[in-house]
């Protein structure tokens, strides 16, 4: 999946502040993305929010590639390989409280991830979900791990490339 800015839609998750880092717009526009291809959404609960954005913004659009990015990401030069890497799903690596989530190179996390439209079209809904242990006490998969596993099961390739700055902070309640 070659990055084609004219065919790309960016979805910025702006919950709960409804504000985004200014470098998100600057970085994408620098790489040729028309500014009107940047959409934001804000809704509580990451799974419901992202699933709604896919259903209501991404799929009805004519975009062939969708980028998911959290409002507190800070892309710069080091993030550029994320755009040029090949793969049906491509994720960037970014600082998080638990860096162990990066141990599997074939997992993309939705803080910064791009995917081919076909992945969303062919995947059974919900696209994102959080999986708990049978007793409901522990999280087994974050919503993006759930997404990655389903994409892989459909035969899509997943890879990671590029580094993105990120303001690590406590996740808001209900995230």
Nearer to Zn ion, 8 or 47 (CB): 47
The residue ranges that bind Zn ion (CB under 5 A) are 109, 142, 144
Tell whether omega for the bond before 106 is within 30 degrees of 0, i.e. cis: no
As a whole number of angstroms, the distance between CA 88 and CA 53 comes to 19
Nearer to Zn ion, 33 or 142 (CB): 142
Minimum CB–partner distance for residue 9 and Zn ion (Å): 21
Minimum CB–partner distance for residue 96 and Zn ion (Å): 8
The per-residue DSSP string of 66-105 comes to EEEEETTEE--GGGHHHHH--SSEEEEE---S-GGGGSST
Angle between helices 143-153 and 46-53 (to 10 degrees): 50
Minimum CB–partner distance for residue 166 and Zn ion (Å): 12
Minimum CB–partner distance for residue 60 and Zn ion (Å): 25
Nearer to Zn ion, 123 or 142 (CB): 142
Nearer to Zn ion, 92 or 142 (CB): 142
As a whole number of angstroms, the distance between CA 163 and CA 168 comes to 14
Handedness of CA 127, 102, 76, 170 (dihedral sign): positive
As a whole number of angstroms, the distance between CA 66 and CA 93 comes to 17
Nearer to Zn ion, 37 or 156 (CB): 156
Token code pair at residue 9: 């839609």
Minimum CB–partner distance for residue 7 and Zn ion (Å): 25
């Amino acid at each position: 999946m070659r990055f084609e800015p004219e065919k790309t839609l960016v979805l910025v998750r702006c919950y709960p502040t409804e504000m985004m880092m200014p470098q998100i717009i600057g970085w994408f526009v620098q790489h040729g993305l028309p500014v009107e291809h940047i959409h934001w959404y804000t809704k509580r609960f990451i799974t419901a929010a992202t699933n709604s954005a896919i259903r209501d913004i991404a799929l009805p659009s004519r975009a062939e590639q969708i980028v998911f990015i959290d409002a507190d990401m800070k892309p710069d030069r080091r993030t550029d390989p994320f755009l040029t890497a090949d793969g049906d799903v491509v994720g960037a690596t970014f600082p998080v409280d638990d860096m162990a989530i990066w141990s599997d190179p074939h997992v993309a996390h939705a803080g910064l991830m791009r995917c081919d439209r076909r992945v969303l079209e062919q995947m059974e809904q919900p696209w994102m979900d959080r999986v708990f242990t049978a007793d409901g006490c522990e999280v087994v998969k974050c919503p993006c791990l759930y997404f990655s596993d389903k994409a892989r099961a459909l035969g899509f390739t997943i890879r990671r490339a590029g580094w993105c700055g990120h303001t690590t902070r406590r996740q808001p309640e209900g995230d």
